[in-house]
Structure 1
Amino acid sequence: MWIGGVRVIVPDEMGRILMVKQRHEGRDIWMVPGGAIEEGENALQAAVREVEEETGLKIKVKRLLWHVEEVSQERGQRFVNFFLAEIIGGMAKLGSDPEFDEDNQVLKELRFFTRKELCKLPIVYPEYLKTELWEALEPKYFENNVFKIKD
């Protein structure tokens, strides 16, 4: 059975990338907002919902960056769509994961990072965000080592 998920690259007005720190298996992991696609919704709807739940921000999905498939003994078969989005409303604040009660929340911190700052983080999931994220975004959108959304 395939299980689907989404992750969303959300730059701010200064071109920094939004990351959330989650606590899993006794360690802190930085990742872009996202989560599972719920029954009855598509990947775009899941992306919008997950970002709002975790960050308080309303977004508009601009485009698909990657479709990643994984087959492993531990997790089985699954896929994750990575989208690029822009902020269209809301205020950035750490949200909550409705799958966990108040005492067991995994979301610990919310922060925007420049490329240089993101690359210095000890644990980023997936690790290739430190390199491939920047390669996937068109170079003409970079100024001073940060990403700028332009239509």
Structure 2
Amino acid sequence: MEPEDLDMLYHIENDRSLWNVSATNVPYSRYALHNYIADAKNDIYIDGQVRLIIENEQQETVGVIDLVDFDPKHQRAEMGIIIMKAFRRQGYAQAAIEMLTDYSRNMLHLKQIYAVVDVDNEVSHHCLLSIGFTEGAILKEWIFCDGRYKDARVMQLFI
């Protein structure tokens, strides 16, 4: 991430409609996000995560993809992705996940990437299946959203 990504990151992190697909539950200040960008070493072995900006051919930022909960012993990490509304359903998620998969396999030597997806999120579920993810466990009442608990599905990609 670059300092120029601050406004986009501020928008994504403070979009309450996305909080149900992330661990965010409080708004972030520009100052806190500025420090996050400045302090990140961009080394998954140091930070335990890596966050990458997704751009299209016109160098427009279309979203963010990250690996979190990196576990070098078990060679796995959790993937998260957000595509901004104006760019959804145009193939950017699939392309970004495929690039992240190549990076994870060839540079990080991971055995698997997994994602936790709300069982009602059919778009993400279908996208991940089309890339080769398989369905794992159903996590009962895993996501608290809109005053109620919802089930989530673990999706795994063995690479």
With the length of structure 1 as denominator, give the TM-score of the two structures.
0.27
More strand per residue: 1
With the length of structure 2 as denominator, give the TM-score of the two structures.
0.26
